[in-house]
Amino acid sequence: MTVLNSLIRPLVRDLHAYVPGEQPKIKGLIKLNTNENPYPPSPRVLAAVKAAVDGRLRLYPNPTARALREKLAKLHGCMPENIIVGNGSDEVLALAIRAFVEPTLEGRVPQVPNQSKSGTRGARPSKTVQYFTPSYSLYPVLADIHSAAKNVVSLKPDFGLPSVKELKHGKQWDFDAALTFVTTPNAPSGRGYKTLELEKLCRALKGVAVLDEAYVDFANENALKLALKFPHVLVARTFSKAYSLCFQRVGYFVGHPELIAALDKIRDSYNVNGLGQIAAVATLDDLKYYRANFKSIISTREWLGRELTKLGFRVLPSQTNFILAQPPKFPAQDWLQKLRDKKILVRWFSAPEVRNYLRITIGTQAEAAALVKAVRGIL
């Protein structure tokens, strides 16, 4: 061990950091690997951001993203106190672990659920962060950073949500988990879940439930009402995917003011940058533009699914801005390189449940057509 290494906490030394999708700067590359929106922010949003770039950059931004929270509250039919904004939804997900989950003293503990018999919310929850697999690959990293115990439970083979009855029967699910993340619609499968089944799951959980709705604008239903109905449910949303603002890093939670206030205590004072706040506010003033984009993306998604199916891919139904597709003829990992050789970048995950698939972000119709042409060439 080097001297400097010994200065680093063992937990951090052993940590496997989150691996974000590549952001290569290759001329002419069609980038379908990180679920970014192929359409730019609306002209009004760009104008608002440009107009804000002046001497005011020397000032701190509003510390509570007040104007943005007021607009979001109007949109969702709640109060600004129901909302906390973060530096992307990744930040609020991390805050939830820090606020609601006790770290374990010894670092990683065996993945054994702590099934208390108490059965009442408000009793001390277990120290567990719980989520389904596959789902957003950041959750285990956030849990590890916090030295939290993880309980990882498989989705059904078709990536459906197990019912409460099935979870009880399976015995692995921890209904007392301090914090449960549900990615809905699911990533990386793209599968959507009914609000009714999410409601049944939330009702049965004793700790905090986070419904991560990063992709919900491309879905048939959303579960926002559950965050306003159940005090222990938080819904996470982001401006990154549907609202073309990855670059600005703005995401938020909707939930009970008491949980929101707890999260508010532990965030950085100026966690949301000023231009991000301005861009997000302007976005909410121009929702018509974005709703038209959702329609285009959904129609391209359905077209691409049909075309790839004709070419022998097994394409899973998606309610997101990406599809998960099992390619024919070669292993999925080989396809990654074959497509890259044709200047098309998609995503492949090594996790056992999805290693036979490619995750393909829905681009413009022209990008989707280029992908289909490239696939034909490879076949």
**35/319 with CB nearer ligand PLP:** 35
In the complex, least distance from residue 272 CB atom to ligand PLP, rounded to whole angstroms:
11
In the complex, least distance from residue 42 CB atom to ligand PLP, rounded to whole angstroms:
18
Decide: 377 and 344 in contact? Cβ < 8 Å: no
**187/304 with CB nearer ligand PLP:** 187
Based on the number of CB atoms within 10 Å of its own CB, is 363 exposed (0-12), middle (13-18) or buried (19 or more)?
Answer: buried
Query: What is the rounded distance in angstroms from the CA atom of residue 16 to the CA atom of residue 19?
Result: 9
Q: Which residues pair with 129 in a beta bridge?
A: 150, 179
Q: Is 329 helix (H, G, I), strand (E, B) or coil?
A: coil
**144/212 with CB nearer ligand PLP:** 212
DSSP annotation of 353: T
Query: What is the rounded distance in angstroms from the CA atom of residue 320 to the CA atom of residue 219?
Result: 6
In single-letter form, the type of residue at position 243 comes to Y
Task: Note the residues at the interface with ligand PLP (CB under 6 A).
Answer: 35, 88-90, 136, 183, 187, 212, 214, 238, 240, 246, 251
In the complex, least distance from residue 89 CB atom to ligand PLP, rounded to whole angstroms:
4
In the complex, least distance from residue 30 CB atom to ligand PLP, rounded to whole angstroms:
19
**95/375 with CB nearer ligand PLP:** 95
Place of tokens 């005011």: 56
User: For ligand PLP, which residue has the nearest CB?
Assistant: 88
In the complex, least distance from residue 378 CB atom to ligand PLP, rounded to whole angstroms:
27
For 323, phi then psi, to 5°, come to -130, 150
Query: What is the rounded distance in angstroms from the CA atom of residue 342 to the CA atom of residue 183?
Result: 32
Query: What is the rounded distance in angstroms from the CA atom of residue 290 to the CA atom of residue 296?
Result: 10
Q: Which of 220, 292, 266 is nearest to 43 (CA)?
A: 292
**127/249 with CB nearer ligand PLP:** 249
In the complex, least distance from residue 223 CB atom to ligand PLP, rounded to whole angstroms:
14
- In the structure encoding, which two tokens stand for residue 225, read together? 């009402």
Q: Which of 316, 318, 321 is nearest to 217 (CA)?
A: 321
Question: Which contacts of 6-10 are long-range, i.e. CB under 8 A and separated by 24 or more positions?
Answer: 10/107
**126/248 with CB nearer ligand PLP:** 248
**316/375 with CB nearer ligand PLP:** 316
In the complex, least distance from residue 280 CB atom to ligand PLP, rounded to whole angstroms:
11
